[in-house]
Amino acid sequence: MGQISIILITGLIFLFHFEPPETRMNISDMQVVLWTIVLTGYPILIAYFVTGYVARTFPAHKEENLPKLYRLRRYMIVFECLSLAGYLCNLYLLNLPVLIDKYFAFFPMENLRQMLALFPLLVGLICIRLAFYQVNRLQSGHYREILSLQFKFLLFPLLPMCIYLITIDALYWLPYSAKVFIVEHPYILIGLILPVIVSAYILAPLLMQFLWKTEPLAPNSGLKQRLEQLTKQSGAKHKDIMVWQTGSLLIANAAVAGTLPWNRRIFLTDALLEYFTDDEIETVVAHELGHIRYKHIQTYMLFSLFYLLSYPFFYVFVEEPLVIHFDESQILPTLCSLTFLITYFVLIFRYLSRRCEHQADLYAVRLTEKPEAFKTALMKLAVLNSVPKSIRRVFELFNTHPSINRRLAFINQWIAGTSGIQRYKNYLIEVKILIVLLPIFCALAVLLFR
């Protein structure tokens, strides 16, 4: 779901940089609505036509067709970008936010009200995902469950943003002198989003339990006792192991959420428990314990905070001079913000994430001493989740996880005693650099905005 979040956030950036043009097209409100429907619907119709043709031509139940279906997934980003392009037409040609402000002026929170203009993009992304889901799955789930799954995934980036916008809107109810002070000191707005990000990481397990049907792993089962012994051996603290009920979707996955031990939970899907042996489940849980052992969740949180601290420097030294040089272009600030976002969260963050996954893989095989069981578990994850085992290096740059084959090769290198693998036993050098730079950038930010 990484790329869909990036496209969604890209739409948000364009939305909040939008300024009504001085001259408007001679078009009625009804025409705006009709063209919005057309621009939202055309990528969806094309996606359903293409996936329908592929599904009829290359049925998923035939194993020889699976590589072709895997390659089709790469083109999903093309349709999602088409949906984004249609959405930008809604903004800059049809002035959709202006229509939203006109008919929803009764809603008092102006910034939160702008989120309504994001609705066409949300519909487009979800529907495109539905079209590709049916082609890529060996077993199709019910459309209602698929729709619910995609919508809930989109809530993860949207909920923190909504909370932040509510906070910003609440500031407008302050006395005039306080509002002037905030305008004169923009770093205050950055400071307001810091606790939102921290809270999102801390409360993530509660949000997951709220959005999805979960229940604790049966306390008297032999598997629960084995996993408790494993966690005691690792020393990684967590509150509980939860089973995520995925219904007919057949999702085999595991995750750990929560930065603090008192609310940290490990999630295992029901399909994982059904199709994997106890040894394989043990290695998968050990992988999640590796994320706890090396504090990867805290690392991701600090990385997100560092984005907020580093962006002002990018704005002062790169974006602002460019905007002045190009005569204060309206679209240039948006493109600059988007470039920084993609560079930071797509290229840099995903490189760090892949390194963390390798580190957790190494911890799993070291803790359990069952490398073959873990390798089998990785192969089963690829089959059940319709994930290609091999990905070209250029496509892997955009993934948060290494390819299955690359992870298997990494484990084989550890079995062979390759010296370069041993450095993953320690905290990654990127994490150490991040921790050192955080206080430095904090101090510089204070000096920059004094």
| Least confident range of 357-366, 387-396, 400-409 | 387-396
User: What are the tokens at 144?
Assistant: 């209602």
Is residue 424, in this structure, part of any structural domain at all? yes
Do residues 398 and 261 share a domain?
A: yes
Last residue in a domain, options 97, 130, 159: 159
Is residue 37, in this structure, part of any structural domain at all? yes
Mean of all residue pLDDT scores within the chain: 83
Say if residue 432's pLDDT is above 90.
Answer: no
Q: Cα separation of 78 and 74, whole Å?
A: 8
Q: Span 283-300, mean pLDDT?
A: 94
Is residue 356, in this structure, part of any structural domain at all? yes
Q: Span 84-92, mean pLDDT?
A: 91
Q: Span 125-135, mean pLDDT?
A: 81
Do residues 229 and 103 share a domain?
A: no
CA 412 to chain centroid, in Å, comes to: 30
Is residue 324, in this structure, part of any structural domain at all? no
Is residue 420, in this structure, part of any structural domain at all? yes
Say if residue 181's pLDDT is above 80.
Answer: no
Is residue 394, in this structure, part of any structural domain at all? yes
User: What are the tokens at 392?
Assistant: 């070209």
Contact 51, 131 (CB under 8 A): yes
Do residues 213 and 155 share a domain?
A: no
| Least confident range of 16-30, 81-95, 108-122, 389-403 | 16-30
pLDDT band at 24 (very low <50, low <70, confident <90, very high): low
Say if residue 409's pLDDT is above 90.
Answer: yes
Do residues 263 and 134 share a domain?
A: no
Is residue 186, in this structure, part of any structural domain at all? no
How do beta strands 240-244 and 265-269 pair?
parallel
Helix (H) or strand (E) holding 126: helix 119-136
Do residues 129 and 258 share a domain?
A: no
Residue bearing tokens 């010296």: 419
Q: Model confidence over 259-287: pLDDT tens digits?
A: 998 889 999 999 999 999 999 999 999 99
Do residues 142 and 237 share a domain?
A: no
Do residues 256 and 379 share a domain?
A: yes
HSE toward the beta carbon, residue 324, CA cutoff 13 A: 7
- Residue 335: other Cβ atoms inside 10 A: 15
pLDDT band at 198 (very low <50, low <70, confident <90, very high): confident
Do residues 142 and 277 share a domain?
A: no
Last residue in a domain, options 124, 159, 194: 159
List the CATH number of the domain containing 276.
Answer: 3.30.2010.10
Percent of the chain with pLDDT over 70: 86
Helix, strand, or coil here: 253?
Answer: coil
Measuring CA to CA, which residue among 292, 204, 208 is closest to residue 245? 208
Predicted pLDDT of residue 176:
60
Predicted pLDDT of residue 359:
95
Say if residue 186's pLDDT is above 70.
Answer: no
Say if residue 4's pLDDT is above 60.
Answer: no
Say if residue 56's pLDDT is above 60.
Answer: yes
Do residues 142 and 226 share a domain?
A: no
Residues contacting residue 309 through CB under 8 Å, at least 6 positions apart: 190, 438, 441, 442, 445
Say if residue 442's pLDDT is above 90.
Answer: no
Q: Where in the sequence is the domain holding 428, given as residue range(s)?
A: 209-297+349-448
Higher-confidence position of 280 and 140 = 280
Q: In what order do the strands lie in the sheet with 240-244?
A: 214-216, 240-244, 265-269, 254-257
Predicted pLDDT of residue 1:
45
Residues 118, 120, 121, 127, CA torsion sign: positive
Is residue 191, in this structure, part of any structural domain at all? no
**What is the total count of domains within the chain?**
2
Task: Give the best-scoring range by mean pLDDT among 210-219, 311-320, 351-360, 415-424.
Answer: 351-360
Measuring CA to CA, which residue among 171, 216, 218, 210 is closest to residue 192? 171
Say if residue 354's pLDDT is above 90.
Answer: yes
Say if residue 63's pLDDT is above 70.
Answer: no
Task: Give the best-scoring range by mean pLDDT among 274-278, 327-331, 445-449.
Answer: 274-278
Do residues 111 and 217 share a domain?
A: no
Sequential DSSP letters for 336-405: HHHHHHIIIIIIIHHHHHHHHHHHHHHHHHHHH--HHHHHHHHHHHHHHTT--S---HHHHTT-SS--HH
Predicted pLDDT of residue 384:
84
Do residues 37 and 110 share a domain?
A: yes
